Chain A
Amino acid sequence: MNVDAMNAPQEVVLSVEGLRVYFRNEEEVARAVDGVDFEVRRGETVCLVGESGCGKTVSALALLGLLPRPPGEIAGGRVRFCGDDLLDRDEEALQVVRGRRIGMVFQEPLTSLNPVFTIGEQIAEPLRVHLELPESQIRQRCLQLLHDVGIDSPEQRLAAYPHQLSGGQRQRAMIAMALACGPELIIADEPTTALDVTVQAQILSLMNRLQHAHDMSVLYITHDLGVVSQIADRVYVMYAGVIVETGAAQPVLRNPRHPYTRALLDSLPNRRKRGRRLYSIPGSVPHPAYKPAGCPFHPRCPRAIDACREHFPGMCVFDDGQVARCPVAAGRKLTDWCRS
């Protein structure tokens, strides 16, 4: 997956336009996702990156129809998966899409696997429900899947219960379940956050290998910019429920245009920064019910000007195809600011 391949026109597998997700209670409305657009093309890995509470997980749950409603509600937007609108679908139709065409991998494999069933039974479940394979083939397919995700002695593991596996093996089993029906898209929500670095490295390279082998797209949700640099083709940086910057991963990480992305990168510690003071973003992420007017990042932004306090900034295109929601960085006039 290199930059050239990206420039070629590719089929869009998943597109999200203007997605808004609100959480309501009696007193306040938390705008967790506040107009998010992104797309995933065939065969590419897209990272949705942001700090906790920025709305990245909520976006994924909403587009899969997994949002607990109430208190959550989808207040607007469209989600298209291979041309079909997902938000219009009823629960039954969504279930078919979810199990069969979109695979999901979650953060904590211990809680996303059911402790009372063996790994084999859980991998067989989607095969039985969605593909309606005959029983004779199911076992064969399960063994193949476990082998594909790099679990050794798969015959024994089929009969194992989740607690008998290590964290990394559990996550591999989760990936096997997600792969079971040969999905076109995998949505992975922080799949390696709970794992050790060495295991994380193994899982990441596994996902990379599988993606190429099966020609899948991956939507990868993470807070870790290091992971982004390792796997992403394109990246969307989220802050306070909006996308603030997007582009091909390497240019965004090397030369971030939005002050937030810049600040995030500057605040990462590593040994080369020894002796120098880390940049730290002052303050903390705004509560989704009490977001500041104007640009949501302005109270913490070193480049904020008066206009940032009043106008919500639009997306600005930079020379090399990078897009960031910061007219100040782009050197735009005030008139370009207000979002249509």
Chain B
Amino acid sequence: MSPETTSRAFGLEEPAAPKRTRFEEFWRLFRRNRMALAGLVIFAFFFGSAVVGWVLTSGNRPLFDPALVRLQEKLRPPLATPQATSLKPEERPVGGRYLFGTDDLGRDVFARMLQGAWVSLTVGFVAVGISVAIGIFMGGLAGFYGDRRIRLEQLLVTAVLLAGASLLTAGWRASGAWMLVLGHAWLFWSISPWGIRCRKSLPAGLRFLRKNTLMVDTLIMRFVDIMLCFPSFFLILTVVALLPASIYNIMIVIGLTSWEGTARFVRAEFLSLREQDFVSAAKALGVGNLRVIFRHMVPNAIAPVLVSATLGVASAILTEAGLSFLGFGVPPPHATWGNILSDGKRFIFDAPWLTFIPGAAILIVVLSFNLFGEGLRDILNPRLRERQ
């Protein structure tokens, strides 16, 4: 047989497995997992109502106005029709009923819940977005460049920059600024061609600056360990107490304090991916490090991150609700599920719906995210997959 005929005879066969894309395979497994599917449905419903709620409760003359006070209509139970005859037409609820009742100021709880849904959604996603971004960066750094050692000069520059920044914020403007300038000058000098040339012929007395210290991996992972030592909710409480109350601060603080899990996942994935043959093959082809990381490693490391991000959204929503409940969250006129709950607790015997409705909403949404996350984990876990 000549090479040509063999090529023709073997190659044109179709792949042995029936063609099924990754997504189809994923969906097939997902559909089987009823709880995860329920989680997804609830999440879709929550997402839809948060978006719709945002549209309907914002603007100049919203359809549902969460801030509209009708003192004569306070603490009306769910599905009640307005009784006061003095209501202006624009004060009447949509559909003629208070779907979820009213609170102690006569505000429509349904409208407030809609507004709160949007807050929960954005806090959940933005906070997790921040934490995942930091987590992937730190974990990736530890996983890919973990073997490299940090030189003493690098530690010193970082120390000078950090000290400068903290002096600046603490009020010693002049000395802080000077240290920052010094740090930056050192940094730029050391990466300039002149600096690189000097570095090679450093006088003996300064050679200690080039000494290798910790491994990148040790530095990052020990930092993660330290971060995990703080009870994160109290860390958040402290930080939020120092910062002006705003929804953005809350998102950022939650994001900054919850990236450790993601970093660990990503590091573990990177360490195993680094040894994979396709990564070696890419390096052997001469593909650059950045491309290896972003084309070959990140897409393969993303599955467990997705799972932890989903679970992270649930815990971020819960954290935000907790903060709002304690009064450290989003400032009052704006409704969130946490502060509806908090306001309602004073009337828990007279108007139980004020606590029950936001409480149930938080429970259901958090549960749906957890179920969805667990389902994702089961499906994305290749060992469980083989069993199917």
Contacts and interface: CB of A to CB of B under 8 A. Distances in A.
Given A25-B388, A277-B1, A287 B17 contact: yes
A283 B17 contact: no
B4 interface: no
A287 B16 contact: yes
A134 interface: no
Interface in A237-287: 277, 280, 282-287
Interface string B280-324: 000000000000000000000000000000000000000000000
Given A25-B388, A277-B1, A290-B18, A284 B6 contact: no
Contacts of B6: 280, 282
A304 B9 CA distance: 15
A304 B123 CA distance: 67
Contacts of B388: 25
B17 A282 contact: no
Interface residues on B, range: under 10
Interface in B1-17: 1, 6, 9-10, 13, 16-17
Interface residues on A, range: 10 to 19
Contacts of B9: 282
A284 B1 contact: no
A283 B10 contact: yes
Contacts of A280: 6, 10
Interface in A108-145: none
Nearest to B13: A283
Contacts of B10: 280, 282-283
Contacts of A283: 10, 13
Interface in A1-34: 25
A18 to B, nearest CB: 27
A316 to B, nearest CB: 28
B384 to A, nearest CB: 13
Nearest to A289: B18
Contacts of A290: 18
B227 to A, nearest CB: 33
A203 B167 CA distance: 72
A133 B91 CA distance: 89
Contacts of B1: 277
A231 to B, nearest CB: 32
A79 to B, nearest CB: 25
Contacts of B13: 283-284
Nearest to B2: A277
Interface string B322-339: 000000000000000000
A208 to B, nearest CB: 35
A283 B17 CA distance: 13
A25 B6 CA distance: 36
A282 B12 CA distance: 11
B194 to A, nearest CB: 54
A287 B16 CA distance: 6
Interface string B9-30: 1100100111000000000000
Interface in A268-314: 277, 280, 282-287, 290
Contacts of A277: 1
B2 to A, nearest CB: 9
A162 B249 CA distance: 54
Nearest to A25: B388
A25 B28 CA distance: 11
A323 B243 CA distance: 86
A54 B36 CA distance: 36
A173 B218 CA distance: 40
B3 to A, nearest CB: 9
Nearest to B20: A27
Interface in A24-61: 25
A143 B39 CA distance: 57
B36 to A, nearest CB: 17
Contacts of A287: 16-18
B1 to A, nearest CB: 7
A207 to B, nearest CB: 31
A25 B25 CA distance: 13
Contacts of A284: 13, 16
A280 B1 CA distance: 10
A282 B7 CA distance: 10
A282 B9 CA distance: 7
Interface string B374-388: 000000000000001
Contacts of B17: 287
Nearest to B32: A26
A105 to B, nearest CB: 23
A282 B13 CA distance: 10
Q: Which of A25, A277, A282 has the most CB of B within 10 A?
A: A282
Contacts of A286: 16
Nearest to B8: A282
A240 to B, nearest CB: 12
Nearest to B1: A277
Interface of A: 25, 277, 280, 282-287, 290
6 interchain residue pairs of minimum CB distance? A282-B9, A282-B10, A287-B16, A283-B13, A284-B16, A283-B10
Given A282-B10, A284-B16, 15 more contacts: A25-B388, A277-B1, A280-B6, A280-B10, A282-B6, A282-B9, A283-B10, A283-B13, A284-B13, A285-B16, A286-B16, A287-B16, A287-B17, A287-B18, A290-B18
9 contacts: A25-B388, A282-B6, A282-B9, A282-B10, A283-B10, A284-B16, A285-B16, A286-B16, A290-B18
